[in-house]
Structure 1
Amino acid sequence: MSGDDEEHAVLLNNYFLTLNRNSWIAIGVSIYSGPCCFVLTKNDGQRYPTCWSVADGRDALTIDTWNPIRSIYLLANRENVWANIQEQDIPSRMNFDVNKTKDWRPFFSHSFPRDNIPWTSVQPNDLHYEETRAEDVAALIRQIDDILHEKFRDWREANVTRWHSTCQNRLREIVKDKEMEFIKGSIGTDIESKLVEFQGTHNITGFSLQMPYTTIQAIVDSVHSTNIFKHATNDIQFALAVDIHPYPNNILAVWIYIAHLTKKS
């Protein structure tokens, strides 16, 4: 996605507004990137606000020790812009009630009212998501799978490329659950048990790749960068499986599982 932190923060903030969340664009300092923009949300009854990264969507409460935001000096929403004038700018030590003028200085005030400025917006009032067609996803899975198998043969043109069909079928079963496991935080917890039938006769090395779908070439490049195909021997078999988890509006999460197997002596 193109754009800088400021534009991503506006986009994410507007998305939260469509969900009727209390949200602000925030400017501060992150331990990862230095000066940055992010989004702050605070639900009714929520004691500590949540900081949202506009780069990867990860969140942390202002009191969490793992929160990468180390200082906050400005908040903004559709009502006003507030400068932090508290003695502290560390999120865990700050008060986030912007109505307290001893802590937050508003840009607009009675002497400089917001309503005196004409406001226009290029944003649509409603967000309309298209349904992602299951048949399109299935066709894309087949296309990516065929291309990757062909690329493996091209990359190994000096050697024979053999596929372990039984293991490959098992990987296809495993990869279908990857996205939901990832969402639930249980990814990779039981992979070995699902491949136990092959471990008695083969040494297996494998891993999964996950990426948002942009282009097929980007997927090919990601698989190529792993160098798993670089085995200058014919005494090896490969297994590869592809799955795509669809989200609304043609947002696609691509999962690829790749493994190679060698027979035990």
Structure 2
Amino acid sequence: MAVPLTFQLSDDFTWIALFSADSQPKSAEESPAIQYRIPQSELVEVLQRRMENKLKQSVMEWRCPHLTRWNRRYPTILSEILPKFEMQQDLSSVEEELHRLSVNMRDFKVTGMPIHMAFTDMDAVIERVRSAQIHSTEIPDTEFALCVYIHPYHNDILSVWVFLASLATRQKGTYYQPPSYGE
């Protein structure tokens, strides 16, 4: 038999007190201090390099038997954009960077995206990148650009950004108009 809902808080049959009447809230002096561990930037940089190397190795394995060529120019541009995604302080500067990227890549058909996630382990990041299927192109002479950015927060919380793009060379005579952001 269901008990009807009642808002009479004094009725002990329908409501149970969260605290007993004799319990008092602790004062600030009695409360334990919260301890925060500061980020260890050196370890984050090592993890970032390891993750980028592991992702490159994984992409090459997923693409086997196709040759995987890594573009060396665009990861530099991507490495300037990803920290701005994390900070999201100035959207106009992110839009400018994306426009600059699209202008620089106008000779390519670009397929890619930024992937953002909290770091739990390397396998989770690799699986997320694999599931995006950006590596699965079979267009001849396709190059790939990869950039990893990890932003550390207190207590070993890591925000991971991965940008993987496939860059297929456009046919001669095809004109690419880069998108205009913010219009």
- Spell out structure 1 runs of 4+ moving beyond 4 A: 105-108
Please, which of 185, 207, 218 is the counterpart of residue 124 of structure 2? 218
Aligned to 2:179: none
Please, which of 148, 152, 161 is the counterpart of residue 68 of structure 2? 161
Q: Which runs of 5+ in 1 are unaligned?
A: 1-82, 87-97, 118-123
Verify: 1:140 aligned to 2:62, yes or no: no
Structure 2 residue identity aligned to 1:219: V
Q: Is the 8 A contact 1:205 1:261 kept in 2?
A: yes
> What secondary structure sits across from 2:74 in the alignment?
helix
Structure 1 residue identity aligned to 2:21: R
Structure 2 residue identity aligned to 1:231: T
Inter-partner Cα distance in structure 2 for 1:194 and 1:158 = 34
Q: Aligned pair in 2 of structure 1 residues 241, 113: CA closer, same or farther (>3 Å)?
A: closer
Please, which of 211, 214, 229 is the counterpart of residue 135 of structure 2? 229
Inter-partner Cα distance in structure 1 for 2:82 and 2:23 = 57
Q: Is the 8 A contact 1:205 1:259 kept in 2?
A: yes
Aligned to 1:65: none
Q: CA deviation at 1:176?
A: 2.2
TM-score of the superposed pair, with normalisation by structure 2:
0.74
Matches within 5 A, 1:29-40: none
Aligned to 2:108: 202
Once the two structures are superposed, what CA deviation does each residue of 1:186-244 show, in whole Å capped at 9, x if it has no partner? 49644531313423311222211111111001100100111111112332111010001
Count of aligned positions: 156
Q: CA deviation at 1:84?
A: 7.8
Q: Over the residues paired in the alignment, what is the CA RMSD in angstroms?
A: 3.0
Once the two structures are superposed, what CA deviation does each residue of 1:100-125 show, in whole Å capped at 9, x if it has no partner? x9xxx9744xxx952179xxxxxx72
Q: CA deviation at 1:261?
A: 0.9
Verify: 1:238 aligned to 2:151, yes or no: no
Q: Is the 8 A contact 2:111 2:134 kept in 1?
A: no
Q: Aligned pair in 2 of structure 1 residues 233, 158: CA closer, same or farther (>3 Å)?
A: farther
Aligned to 1:14: none
Q: Which runs of 5+ in 2 are unaligned?
A: 25-30, 172-183
Q: Is the 8 A contact 1:159 1:234 kept in 2?
A: no
Inter-partner Cα distance in structure 2 for 1:200 and 1:252 = 33
Percent of matched pairs sharing the same residue = 28
